[in-house]
Amino acid sequence: MISARGLRKSFGDFEAVKGIDVEVRKGEAFGFLGPNGAGKSSTMRMIASVSPVTSGELRIFGMDPATDGPAIRGRLGVCPQEDTLDNELNVFDNLYIYGRYFGIDRATCRDRATELLEFAQITEKAKSKVEDLSGGMKRRLTIARSLINNPDLLLLDEPTTGLDPQARHVLWDQLFRLKQAGVTLVITTHYMDEAEQLCDRLVVMDKGLIAAEGSPRELIDAHSTREVAELRFGVGEHEGLAGKVEDLGERVEVLPDRLLVYSDHGEEVVTAVLDRGLQPIATLVRRSTLEDVFLRLTGRSLAD
Ligand SMILES: Nc1ncnc2c1ncn2[C@@H]1O[C@H](COP(=O)(O)OP(=O)(O)OP(=O)(O)O)[C@@H](O)[C@H]1O
């Protein structure tokens, strides 16, 4: 569906995407995980064929965006980071009129809009104004709108940023159902839990480059231990303590309020820490996540 080789994007002297290779296969949910400014949106806009490639090779459905932009865009669904719904139109017409832009006939547009409202679970809001919808409903409507042309490939840029946890879960369900229906999804996110929930495969992106690639499980297995012992301390209280626990795990990370000890046996780490007379405010043993992978690869947390 997507093939990129040495893909670059510059804005003047600034290189936002510094030569990346990506392959996305039919039917998979593929993610770009990285913090703000990593170059995810710049990559997405090139894939969406709305921003020219600076250099490198990019093919979408085997076609070149530079020469086949309209043909590519006709087969894509695009859900941008910001909601771009039309506030002048009611909810139903946001779908119906958008379908008409694609040249879909009136009857098909009406049927499709009705189906998509149901899919987005906002049928009862059909006649409401867009401004009366909650943030989560607006996102669901935006996704529904991007499906009006029955796309082969759906691009979602930060689909759940700004939503509360419950609205995020409802949206994840919607995306999961799309995946089950065989739609190829490409998602950018800076939420590691979103990437873990939705993506079959992903790349970890930082400063315009790909730091690692694989399924969430493969990335965690390759770049982290099975468990992490979190030792919480008051801010500044644990400076100098890392050296006292570093032999207990494969590695130790020092965060402002805690030490992270990476080990396959987290409980044993905690017991040994307490035996040594260290007094953390709280301890927690958890499984490694993609956040740990990011920290390992970049030395920073995804939220930085
Ligand atoms: N039109 C532009 N002109 C100049 N610089 C840009 C432009 N668009 C993006 N950039 C810069 O390129 C870098 C990558 O931005 P991009 O939006 O691709 O990152 P991102 O990973 O999607 O982050 P975010 O989640 O904040 O959108 C940033 O430093 C940004 O300031």
Query: Do 265 and 167 fall within a single domain?
Result: no
- Closest-CA residue, ligand 1 atom 2, reads 11
Has residue 294 been placed in a domain?
no
CATH number of the domain encompassing residue 174: 3.40.50.300
Has residue 128 been placed in a domain?
yes
Mutation choice for ligand 1 from 14, 50, 304, CB with most ligand atoms inside 8 A: 14
Query: Do 99 and 149 fall within a single domain?
Result: yes
- Closest-CA residue, ligand 1 atom 5, reads 11
Q: How far is the CA of 117 from the centre of ligand 1 (A)?
A: 32
Mutation choice for ligand 1 from 10, 13, 18, 41, CB with most ligand atoms inside 8 A: 41
Q: Where among 169, 188, 215 does a domain terminate?
A: 215
Query: Do 158 and 96 fall within a single domain?
Result: yes
Has residue 166 been placed in a domain?
yes
CATH number of the domain encompassing residue 247: 3.30.70
Q: Is the CB of 208 under 6 A from ligand 1?
A: no
Query: Do 194 and 275 fall within a single domain?
Result: no
Q: Under a CB-based contact definition with an 8 Å cutoff, are residues 196 and 138 in contact?
A: no
Write down the ipTM of this complex. Answer: 0.93
Q: Where among 158, 180, 215 does a domain terminate?
A: 215
Beta bridge partners of 19: none
Cα 150 to chain centroid, rounded? 22
Low-confidence residues in the chain, pLDDT < 70:
304
Query: Do 101 and 155 fall within a single domain?
Result: yes
Q: Is the CB of 39 under 6 A from ligand 1?
A: yes
Angle between helices 216-223 and 290-298 (to 10 degrees): 50
Query: Do 166 and 265 fall within a single domain?
Result: no
Instruction: Spell 135-152 as b/e; 16+ CB within 10 A means b.
Output: ebbbbbbbbbbbbbbebb
- Closest-CA residue, ligand 1 atom 30, reads 37
Q: Which domain holds residue 176?
A: 2-215
**pLDDT value at position 304?**
62
**pLDDT value at position 239?**
79
Total domain count, the chain: 2
Q: Is the CB of 16 under 6 A from ligand 1?
A: yes
Has residue 18 been placed in a domain?
yes
Query: Do 85 and 211 fall within a single domain?
Result: yes
Query: Do 235 and 153 fall within a single domain?
Result: no
Separation between Cα atoms, residue 274 and residue 244, nearest integer Å: 12
